[in-house]
Amino acid sequence: MKNGRVAVVGVGLHPFGRFPDKAVEDLGREAALEALRDAGLSYKDVEAGFLGRVTQLGIGVGQRVFGELGLTGIPVTNVELACASSSRAVMHAADLIRSGAVEVAMVIGVEKMERGMLQPGGERSYQALLGLTILPGAYAMMARRHMHLYGTKPEHFAKVSVKSHKNAVHNPYAQYRTELTLEEVLNSRMIADPITLYQCCPTSDGASAVVLASERRARQLSNQPVYLTAWAGGTPIFDPDEPGLSEGPTALLARKVYQAASISPQDVGVCQVHDAFSPGEIFTIEELGFVKPGEGGPFVWEGGTEITGRLPVNTDGGLLSRGHPMGATGGAMITEIVRQLRGQAGPRQVADPKVGLVQNAGIGGVNVLAFQV
Amino acid sequence: MAIQQKDRARPAVPLNERLFRLDEAEGGIPVLLGWRCPDCGHHFFPHRTICPGCGHIGLEEVDLSRRGKVWTYTIAHQVPPGAIVEAPYVIARIELPEAVLVSSLITDCAPEEVRVGMEVEITPVKVREDEEGRDVLAFAFRPVKKPAKETKS
Ligand SMILES: [Zn+2]
């Protein structure tokens, strides 16, 4: 038996920031209760649980976090895809609902992180010893290549961060809620040229929760359902001609999602992309087909991704300002899209969006999801 | 940076034998170990067993070119924990004639002189001494001092 469309019926967050006195179970529980309240459901309605998380949390985190909410015997699965863990968890929950196996599933994303620069791939000790593997370095090299190919300027990347910080002022869940000028961003400490400190996302504690339901079940609830109409995930594809700038086949996944949802990039009214470092927004809006390759820098510079622009991007402040507790980030992106599509985003509300897109990248993997009302 | 030039008179060993060997006939220059697919001809670095281009199992080890061009780079101003370099330092992706990209430091030039497209050649750098007093070497790339005319003997 098929369940028809998949709906998001509840979203919730624990604020992002530093919460040394709270355990991940506390963060996850608060986000989950907010999402259940938002959905008008209780935990006993949830038939399957998925947890997105990345580091420092030990074995069986999902069982512990969901166990805080009740002991109802549901299956709980831990999902890890680096910074894209909870969006991938949402895809698994959606697959399960679409298959007809369950009618209500919940995703929780959690993370508690230490301060400082993350080191990917600890097994690559040769590269680590020589300082070759820093994450801002990887984005900086992609940025430099983009500058070489298209004439993109450091100011274009910095503008992304100015815009993100401006949006986050209106997001009570965001880690940084202070506006920054272009000069402040450009003149902050250089990390990996052209990326300065204020163009790097912070490390964060936080949690997100997303409740999904079958269309039939969603129609019984009071909230306006937001439909998750297409989703696709992938890993890098070997291309001998063009080494890609991004972490996965975003462009290919976007085409799949547009086709499956019968939409085009022009239909997208609000978008969340992976801006762990400011160049990410510029690469990604090109890969998602909103602008041609090389046009991302000028598009951002001219305000195209502002809340009032042609394509509002990262309206909640993005990873740069909302914060990036890795396991929670995908769920937070989805939370913002759902609030925008319902018209509940308050001072940062985009004018009447009908289609929202999420692009969430983890190290070596990427997810693209389309939402519609 | 804290890494040093190789002293040619001293015995040396590669930091990672899976990535490169030292060509003693050439004075201990590092030679990157590439992996070539006998079916489709693509080269890979570092080591792979299975060709991602055609799926062939069993790639052949080949020496990669010593010279290449800077494909992209960044000047890093912060040293990650555990690294032996000193900031600022240049991280680059070097494009070799075999169409492989190699991550490497760029040494022997001021960071602000590095450009995309710049011609570079491999060079050894000393990272430490081992228990037997031998120099442990890594590879880096440096600008080619004289233009491409010279041939290696
Ligand atoms: Zn092959």
Cα dihedral B42/B48/B49/B54 (nearest 10): -30
Kindly report whether the peptide bond that precedes residue B46 is cis, defined as omega within 30 degrees of 0: yes
Check CB contact of A1 with chain B, cutoff 8 Å: no
Mean pLDDT of A269-282: 96
One-character DSSP codes across B28-95: SEEEEEEEE-TTT--EESS--SB-TTT--B-PEEEEPPSEEEEEEEEEE-SPPTT----SSEEEEEEE
Share of chain A above pLDDT 90, in %: 84
Do A273 and A250 form a contact (C-beta atoms < 8 A)?
no
Q: Are strands B67-76 and B89-95 parallel, antiparallel or unpaired?
A: antiparallel
Mean pLDDT of B105-113: 96
Q: How confident is the model at residue A364 (pLDDT cuts 50, 70, 90)?
A: confident
pLDDT at A224 over 50: yes
Q: Which residues pair with B30 in a beta bridge?
A: B22
Give SS3 for B145: coil
| Contact residues, A window 177-196, toward B, CB-based 8 Å cutoff | 189-195
Most confident of A4-8, A44-48, B124-128: A44-48
* B25 part of a folded domain: yes
Q: How confident is the model at residue A226 (pLDDT cuts 50, 70, 90)?
A: very high
Q: Which of A83, A200, A201, A271 is catalytic?
A: A83
Q: Tens of pLDDT along B21-68?
A: 999 888 889 999 999 999 999 999 999 999 998 999 999 999 999 999
Answer yes or no: do B81 and A133 touch at CB < 8 A. no
Residues 6 or more apart in contact with residue B2 via CB below 8 angstroms: B84, B85, B86
Q: Shortest CA distance to A303 belongs to which of A294, A295, A312? A: A312
B106 phi, psi to nearest 5 deg: -115, 125
pLDDT at A268 over 70: yes
Q: What is the pLDDT of residue A113?
A: 82
One-character DSSP codes across A111-156: E---SS-----TT-HHHHHTT---HHHHHHHHHHHHHHHH---HHH
Q: Tens of pLDDT along A87-130?
A: 999 999 999 999 999 999 999 999 998 766 565 543 367 888 89
Domains of chain A and CATH, by start: 6-115+204-229 (3.40.47.10), 126-201+230-372 (3.40.47.10)
| Contact residues, A window 91-150, toward B, CB-based 8 Å cutoff | 116-117, 119, 126-134, 136-137, 140-145, 148
Answer yes or no: do A117 and B74 touch at CB < 8 A. no
Q: Which of A92, A156, A165, A324 is catalytic?
A: A324
Spacing, Cα B53 to ligand 1 middle (Å): 5
Mean pLDDT of A288-301: 97
One-character DSSP codes across A47-60: -EEEEE--SS--TT
* B130 part of a folded domain: yes
Q: Tens of pLDDT along A176-195?
A: 999 999 999 999 999 999 99
Which residue is listed with tokens 């890795």? A326
- Rounded to the nearest angstrom, the minimum Cα separation between B83 and chain A is 4
Q: What is the pLDDT of residue A137?
A: 92
Q: What is the pLDDT of residue B5?
A: 64
Spacing, Cα A236 to ligand 1 middle (Å): 17
Do A226 and A213 form a contact (C-beta atoms < 8 A)?
no
Q: Tens of pLDDT along A142-158?
A: 999 999 999 999 999 99
* B151 part of a folded domain: no
Q: Shortest CA distance to A164 belongs to which of A342, A288, A336? A: A336
Residues in chain A closer than 8 A to B54 (CB atoms): none
pLDDT at A174 over 60: yes
Q: Tens of pLDDT along A192-219?
A: 999 999 999 998 999 999 999 999 999 9
Q: What is the pLDDT of residue A121?
A: 46
Total domains in the fold of chain B: 1
Sign, Cα dihedral of B109, B115, B118, B124: positive
Q: What is the pLDDT of residue B135?
A: 92
Size of interface A-B (CB pairs under 8 A): 98
Spacing, Cα B63 to ligand 1 middle (Å): 17
> In the numeric block, which tokens belong to residue B33?
């170990």
Domain housing B64: 5-143
Check if A83 is active-site: yes
Answer yes or no: do B80 and A192 touch at CB < 8 A. no
Do A160 and A281 form a contact (C-beta atoms < 8 A)?
yes
User: What is the predicted ipTM?
Assistant: 0.89
* B87 part of a folded domain: yes
* B149 part of a folded domain: no
Q: What is the pLDDT of residue A178?
A: 95
Do B3 and B84 form a contact (C-beta atoms < 8 A)?
yes
Mean pLDDT of A131-148: 92
pLDDT at A56 over 80: no
Which residue is listed with tokens 């697959």? A95
Check if A324 is active-site: yes
* B26 part of a folded domain: yes
